[in-house]
Structure formats: C-alpha cells, structure tokens
Structure 1
C-alpha cells in the first residue's frame, strides 16, 4: 500500500476507493482515493474529531491532496477551515460557497466552476449543480483509470440534469435522507418539514429509488445509502426502498452511518 505524505497507509494502489468518516445531520465527510491522489469531500466535524475519524481509516491529514466542498451548511463545512489551516490542505469550492462567509481564510483556495471538469493530480472530477437550498451547491463525480464514483447527497429532487450527469457510475454514494411518513409525523416544526421535504431540501427514500431506476443498475457495483436523518429515517427503511430494484439482492447496498461511517470500499 502507498503511504502518501504521512505515516499511515491509504487505499489499495491502482484502485478507485472510497470511505466515509460519517454521514448525517451531525457531520459529513467522504474520502476518495486511487492510491496516488486522496481527497476529502466536505468536512462537517470538528478538527479533533476529523483527525480521529481519519486515523480510524488509516489516513493522516497530511496525506490529503485537497478538500472539496459541496456547499456551506455546517454539517458539511464546519471542519474545513480548521483542517486546512492546521495541515495546509488546499480547499476547492464554488465562489457562491465562499461568499457565504462561513469558511474563514485558508492557505490555498481554488475555485470550482459548476459543470467544468477539473483534476486533482490523478483524479478527474466533474462538479455537478444540484437543487439544494444553498448559494452555489455542487456534488461530484470522480474518475480514475476508467472507474467512476458518484457522490450525490443534499438534493431536493432528482432533476433531469442530475440524472444525466450521474449515469454510468460504478459506485454511488446516494442520499436517502428521510422516509416521507416519518417526516410527516415526526418532531420537526411545519416550516422545517416543508424545507426538508421540498424541491430544494433533501432526498426521500422513495426519490432515491426513483433516481436509481433512471440511472440504471447494471454497472453499479456498490450503492451507499447516506445522509440518513436521525429523526426521520431508519437504515432498514432506506434498504427496503432500494432492495426491490436489485431483485431482492441487497449485497450491493450498504449504509454510511453517522457514528461509524463506512470502511474503505474498492471499485473493481
């Protein structure tokens, strides 16, 4: 295994791999690596907690080549500035996300232009505009050595633009934020329920299933249910919504949990 810039190993050399530090309303962060290049998508945990969760996955912050930011909400942005300042990690984000004023100064800042492909060393990255209630939100599609990974969370509905952009992935990290019935009868005030369940909020289990049908399932080796709501969803409900699309075979499905995240997953 390669050792990058730190003292701990990353994912297997030559394979596009991913892992989750944790996913949910209390913090989100996803690792993507092909053994040569390693990036962190979002960092919604405090600095010490981020360092602890990275270590759990065998990664030191010095091994990161970049942090890519999807949008400015705290559960995605909270730890980005402290991590970048402490360890000198470059930050990539849209001008709209920067103009939210929630990041603070960072040592190296790079602009992301939605729909404009860019590269971080060996990783080729497509930033895709998504319908979400943020200033200039994007999600990401990664390519390395012919393998494709989609990271697709925090979108209110599966727009045609999103469907086209994420077709043909080999693995997909997909938002399954809420069960509509649980949201309806749950503890949130009416205004927050409307926001979460609206076209600029978060994806329901049933919407995630519909999106998968449009994307096609033949090529997908791994589907990760992510960003599950603590109050409005349960892992078994997310799995129940998606499993019928796989003819009852749930072996390709897994959950990115809030506390335990998800261990390294390699794409063949």
Structure 2
C-alpha cells in the first residue's frame, strides 16, 4: 500500500503525508506545528507515529512549522546539506543527509531526490518508489528540465504545482515588478499552461493520476487550472488521466494504491 494525502498546498504553506504498510512520512512542514498536528489527527494519524520528515527546500511556505514540529515529536529530518545549512538550524535537530540525485532505502520505501530550477539553496523534487508504483512530488520550479521530465515520466501519480495564471499575476497591483519577474523566471514557479503541458506529456508515459497544487491565493483560481488542462488535453488527446486541483478548501482525500 502507498498512500499520499495532501495536508496543505498553496502560497501559505505546503505539507503532505506519505504512508506505506510499514511507515509514515511527512514531506515539508510549511504550516505551523499546531496546524500540522490538527491536520494529521483529522486524517487519523498520530504525529508521534511518523518515521521522519523530508524537506524539498528551505523557503518558509515549506518549512514554517519544521523546527517546532521536529523537536516536539523527536523526529529526524531528511534533506540535502545546502538546504540544512540554509535553515541555519541549531544542531539539536536530528539531521540525516539526503544527497541530491542519490537513492536512499528506508524500509519498504526507496526515496530519490533530483534537482529542480528554483531560487533556493538546493531545491529538489522527490520520487517515492514502492512495490505498488512510484509517486512524485514536484511543487516549486520555474520550468521542467530534461532531467525533471525524465524523473516525472516514472510516476504513476504526481503532485505538481500550477502556481499562477500569467494574466492575473501581471494585473496584481500588490506585487512589485521584481517579485513578478522572480515568479515568472526560470527559477520561479510554473504557470497553469506550463503545468498543463507537463501533464499531457506525462500522460503519454506512465502517469495515471495528477494532483495540481501550490496555487497562488491571489493570482490563480481552480477553474483556471482546470481550463488550462482541459484545453491542452483537447488539443493533444493524450491517454486518459485522472486530474485533481487541490486548494485549501479541498477535503483531505488521499491517493491510494495497493
């Protein structure tokens, strides 16, 4: 059994729960420790039963609750060295080195990280390999490199960001131009159209299910993501693909394979 439950995904914070028959893991901790605990218990998981936490990168929307949560539950943190150093952590945390582009076996799960283009110290996406298939989490990247596409092509299921609608972003009067440039850059975030193109390409491979998340609260809407996906799929007619768009109002319904 391999089960992925999104606990939070968006500009205000990101976290996901990954479960197998033998272990439970948190991927990112971008909301407060209290909210993480509440959301874990809401899906029937005792935070103390987790095996550890994997971290994609050090930005606050992925690490906001990390320090308190790790200390409160005495859990190990798995991330690469540059991300660990960027956290400027006290050395009381149980850090386990997870080298980028290397595989690590932990019980019945094999974890593979790979570099993604984003403006952080050493940001990564994750593949989680299990006997029932491979699930990928790729939530912060400016564009999909050949390596990223090759890694995602192994996935049966994928959590991918669809961060913004370009027109809404350009029209946003609250963001300075420098921030807009960063978001739109090759080390920023994926637009709806970019995410839709990736979804179609992966549907031609082994991908069966995709969850689109990390939507900007100000510069995106679920219906715009759905439209971008629908239009691209109508144009290119890939293999059937189950598509979900996740927002903070979405129920915590897991993806599960046995």
Shared topology, TM-score over 0.5?
yes
- Runs of 4+ residues over 6 Å off in structure 1: 248-251
Do 2:6 and 2:252's aligned partners in 1 also have CA atoms closer than 8 Å? yes
The match for 2:255 is: 265
What SS class does the counterpart of residue 210 from structure 1 fall into?
helix
The match for 1:12 is: none
For residues 23-59 of structure 1, the C-alpha deviation after alignment (integer angstroms, 9 at most, x for no partner) is 0111100111122121111001111111001111111
Deviation, 1:235, is 0.4
What SS class does the counterpart of residue 195 from structure 1 fall into?
helix
Instruction: Tell me whether 1:182 sits opposite 2:156 in the alignment.
Output: no
Q: Which ranges of structure 1 fall in alignment gaps of 5 or more residues?
A: 1-14
- Bigger drift between 95-104 and 222-231 goes to 95-104
Deviation, 1:143, is 1.0
What SS class does the counterpart of residue 262 from structure 1 fall into?
coil
Number of equivalent positions:
254
Instruction: Tell me whether 1:255 sits opposite 2:241 in the alignment.
Output: no
Q: CA RMSD in A?
A: 1.9
Go from structure 1 to structure 2 and tell me whether the alpha carbon gap of 1:225 and 1:250 turns closer, same or farther (over 3 Å shift).
farther
Go from structure 1 to structure 2 and tell me whether the alpha carbon gap of 1:164 and 1:93 turns closer, same or farther (over 3 Å shift).
same
CA distance in 2, matches of 1:77, 1:102: 12
Instruction: Tell me whether 1:224 sits opposite 2:211 in the alignment.
Output: yes
CA distance in 2, matches of 1:29, 1:128: 18
Q: Which ranges of structure 2 fall in alignment gaps of 5 or more residues?
A: none
Alignment match of 2:20 (pick from 34, 45, 70): 34
The match for 1:206 is: 193
Deviation, 1:241, is 1.2
For residues 110-153 of structure 1, the C-alpha deviation after alignment (integer angstroms, 9 at most, x for no partner) is 01111101122211111010000000111100111141101011
CA distance in 1, matches of 2:152, 2:123: 16
Do 2:80 and 2:100's aligned partners in 1 also have CA atoms closer than 8 Å? yes
| TM-score scaled by length of structure 1 | 0.89
The match for 2:180 is: 193
The match for 2:47 is: 61
What SS class does the counterpart of residue 119 from structure 1 fall into?
strand
Deviation, 1:190, is 0.4
Deviation, 1:221, is 2.6
CA distance in 1, matches of 2:91, 2:249: 29
Deviation, 1:255, is 2.0
Which residues of 2 match residues 1-268 of structure 1 at below 5 A? Answer: 15-187=1-173, 188-217=175-204, 219-247=206-234, 252-260=242-250, 262-267=252-257
Go from structure 1 to structure 2 and tell me whether the alpha carbon gap of 1:259 and 1:96 turns closer, same or farther (over 3 Å shift).
farther
CA distance in 2, matches of 1:255, 1:102: 34
CA distance in 2, matches of 1:153, 1:245: 20
